[in-house]
Structure 1
Amino acid sequence: MAKSCHNGSIPAMLAAFPFSAHLREAVLFPVSTGEISFQWSDLSFPFMRFRRIGFEISAKSRLFKASARWHQANMTEIPDHTTPEAPASPATGDSLQATRILRDAIVSCVLPPGARLSEVVLARDFDIGRGALRAALRALQESGLVSSSPRSGWRVTPVSAPEIREVCAARRHLEPILTTATLDELAREKLAALAGRHAALMQRFDDDPTGSAAIRAAEREIIESVAEALSMPMVQGWLNDLWDRSVRLVNFFEDTGPVRYTPAPRARLVQALTEGRRNEALEHLQAANRALETWLLERFLESGARVQSGRPAPARRRRAAQVTS
């Protein structure tokens, strides 16, 4: 018995296929061949099955293409440097240690100003994991010691007159808060001992050309101890960044020129703070900052042509600088 074609589903099915008008009419009306009489609508079941299979193939194809696009976007090889747009990694013990290692190398000019930093070379030479290394470079970028660009990768911040003015201006505005530190008896005793050591080193400054590093280390202990007494971790972090950048500038110009920087007599600062003479302590900080800015700008003007031209570092630094090649 022939199936009826007037169920309303066949025309809708045919509308989805690019058949000719003659074929659509043949499906809707019975045809006689003489001995065999049948209706084209008997083919409705094969057509519907063909359509269902086609939809399944199309869905699987779309799923495969979407999976391929996701794999291409998320499973590609990580580049040798991290661009500024990449998300920062959370700080871990390894990343904090890596930050200290690289910070010391930059401040001491083992990694000289303007040097390009390869993650592969840094990880190998400093024995740092790639994940901790990227987190450390991010932290140093926030401190102003390195910079990054999509094309050039990581780079140690170059020495420039704007940087000198920025560092000194920031210290001029932020360091006066040190005069508000509340010192207990233990802090006073510690500062007195540090001040005595700093004064002893200063007495041998002219006779010991290699004593600058020891004097700066003693000076740093003094001002860090005062900053710690503020109980302001964020402010202390800002000050540490500024002091690191200042020491880096001094190290660079001392390593590349004949003039040494004369440190400020920090024993006077300690005496003023422990005796409660805040105005005197403030005057000391301001005078020390003015002397530093003047010295840095004079050294920059003397060596500006060499700094801007990017000529090689002196022989004693050239070997250390090879870690960036």
Structure 2
Amino acid sequence: MLDISSPFVASLEAPAAEAAITVATRRLRSAVIACEIAPGAFVNEAALAETFGLGRAGIRVALTALAASGFVSRHARQGWRIAPVDSRLVDAVLEARRRLEPSLADRRLGRAELEMLGPLLGLVDSVAGRTDRPALATARTAERQIRDVLAAGTGSLCRNWLADLWDHSDRIVKALDRAGQHVAPADWRPVIAALSRGDDAQEAAAAIGREIERFETAVARGVLAAADALQPPPARSARRRAPRGASRRAEVMSLSKEQQR
């Protein structure tokens, strides 16, 4: 008979706990990238746990993982701070894109990848020029999937670096969306055409460079126009007791509302 109390037997609760932590990490990362919590806001673990219906342990692990990727930072007596969307972040993202994305030019797209990319390009085209929320959501999702397909053929380390980089890039775009300054989705057709031929890495790299330049110009204009809206909420301790009668959930979500004003 199996003695479940034995220290040599793996805990039966471990898989469930690991699953809960994975869910918390994904959910919180998604919320930060989508700017559901205002960039620059201070938050605490208890408020986040209540807001998203997740356990404190999972929230703590998720925040630690986000800190390692530069999305949040920990501050003594103030809790955790969501990284602000500012010129330093934009500059860092642009530098990283110039260093990493040209690596995509060294690969060749196969038939299966081209079959996946065709419908995604069609989705982006179908809502081109529209700035309503559903259209933007469609374009942003499809364009990110295009990037993920292009990165799938790179090595695992490069793919992970690109994923982190593009999450930061997407957060900048989302912050500008919420401020009413919309950056048009990238046109990856020139890059895909060059990669499909497999013998034109130079043209693919040039097309990637042009897209980064377009992104830089659009973001610079957006940040300038939305300077007031992108200002982080006033610094305050996220550890202080919530006002009587007010839930932690309301306190956390109000931070995001301040970003949209």
Distance 1:216 1:199 in 2: 12
TM-score for both structures, normalised by structure 1: 0.63
- Partner of residue 138, structure 1: 64
Q: Please give the residue correspondences for 1:165-244 in structure 2 after superposition, counting only pairs within 5 Å.
A: 165-202=91-128, 205-206=129-130, 210-230=134-154, 232-244=155-167
Structure 1: any 5+ residue segments left out of the alignment? Answer: 1-90, 312-317
Give SS of 1:147's match: strand
- Partner of residue 83, structure 1: none
Task: Map Cα deviations across residues 187-242 of structure 1 (whole Å, 9 max, x no partner).
Answer: 2322233233333333xx24856412211111111110111111x22211111111
- Kindly state the Cα deviation for residue 141 of structure 1 after the two structures are TM-superposed: 0.9
- Partner of residue 74, structure 2: 148
- Partner of residue 161, structure 1: 87
Q: Which has the higher contact order (CA 8 A, sep 6+)?
A: 2
Given that residues 41 and 255 in structure 2 are in contact (C-alpha distance below 8 angstroms), is that contact kept between their aligned partners in structure 1?
no
Given that residues 121 and 324 in structure 1 are in contact (C-alpha distance below 8 angstroms), is that contact kept between their aligned partners in structure 2?
no
Give SS of 1:304's match: coil
- Partner of residue 55, structure 1: none
TM-score for both structures, normalised by structure 2: 0.77
Larger Rg: 1
Distance 1:155 1:207 in 2: 30
- Partner of residue 202, structure 2: 279
Q: 256, 264, 271: which one pairs with 2:179?
A: 256
Structure 2: any 5+ residue segments left out of the alignment? Answer: 1-16, 235-249
Q: 206, 210, 213: which one pairs with 1:290?
A: 213
Residue 18 of structure 2 is aligned to residue 96 of structure 1: no
Given that residues 49 and 55 in structure 2 are in contact (C-alpha distance below 8 angstroms), is that contact kept between their aligned partners in structure 1?
yes
CA RMSD after TM alignment: 2.7
Distance 1:156 1:282 in 2: 33
Give SS of 2:77's match: coil
Q: How many residues are treated as equivalent by the alignment?
A: 226
